[in-house]
Amino acid sequence: MGHFADSLTFSGRKVVAAWASLPFPASRGSSLLDALSAHREVPWKLLSSGREPKGSCCFAQSVVLRGIGRESPSSPQHPWEPPQHPWEPPQQLLQQYLHTHFPGAFSTSHVLQQPCDTRPPFPQFFSPLLSTQGFLQDKAHSSAGPNRAVESIPALAALQACPALHTLLHGLWSDLRARNVRRWSSFFTAGVEQDDFQEALEELKTLSQCYETGFGADGSEDEADSD
């Protein structure tokens, strides 16, 4: 995982954030083009600590979508730039979708036909509006009960080097900076020197700044803290 994260980081960045859509919202029989076209924004949630940034922005990402069939697209209408041909390879469709939402970002994409297996003992936290194959239904399954389980789901997952990490890293730096570590004798008993600790703090602050996208509220925070 460390080597994989390294492939998505550059310009001083060392950390990536995890995003996922479990399940990826799609109806049974949807083609990949239909499934992507139904969402003006990528329907995922940030799994890493921190709050989700406003708008779509990232520096680099790797995205995997699995469990969406190869059915014919039902409609040519979609909110993103249409492909040159609706029968383009699935991976190329996903790549174009990502390019539309994250222009200028380095993106790699993979599309797998096999869905994620969610049979027990996988935790059954799914909505009753999902079919046993994880697709959206108009109403709850009539046989919903304790013995019914979602057996598989279409899913989307991604690792991103994105601005959301600035908030996370800056917050960690701010919290550590406010602590008086000299009171923690056990901390330095473990072999950490005060100078090494201060150096690590400065490296953490510098790392957080690598995820900034411009001058804004976070920049003002840095200036206030440095004062």
In a domain, 82, yes or no: no
Instruction: For 87-98, write each residue's pLDDT tens digit.
Output: 568 888 999 999
In a domain, 80, yes or no: no
Backbone torsions φ then ψ of 107, nearest 5 degrees: -130, 135
Domains of the chain: total: 2
Mean pLDDT, consecutive 10-residue stretches, the chain (227 aa), reads 85 91 91 88 87 78 89 53 60 91 92 93 91 86 62 95 91 88 73 83 94 58 42
In a domain, 142, yes or no: yes
In a domain, 221, yes or no: no
171 and 123 part of one domain: no
- C-alpha 157/C-alpha 139 separation (Å) is 26
Task: Give me the domain span that covers residue 179.
Answer: 166-210
128 and 180 part of one domain: no
102 and 172 part of one domain: no
- Tell which residue, 26, 16, 8, has the closest CA to residue 155: 26
154 and 202 part of one domain: no
Q: The whole model's pTM is what?
A: 0.78
9 and 64 part of one domain: yes
In a domain, 203, yes or no: yes
Instruction: For 183-210, write each residue's pLDDT tens digit.
Output: 777 777 777 778 888 899 999 999 999 9
pLDDT for the residue 83? 52
184 and 116 part of one domain: no
In a domain, 223, yes or no: no
Which residues touch 14 (CB under 8 Å, ≥6 apart)?
5, 207
- C-alpha 186/C-alpha 197 separation (Å) is 14
146 and 201 part of one domain: no
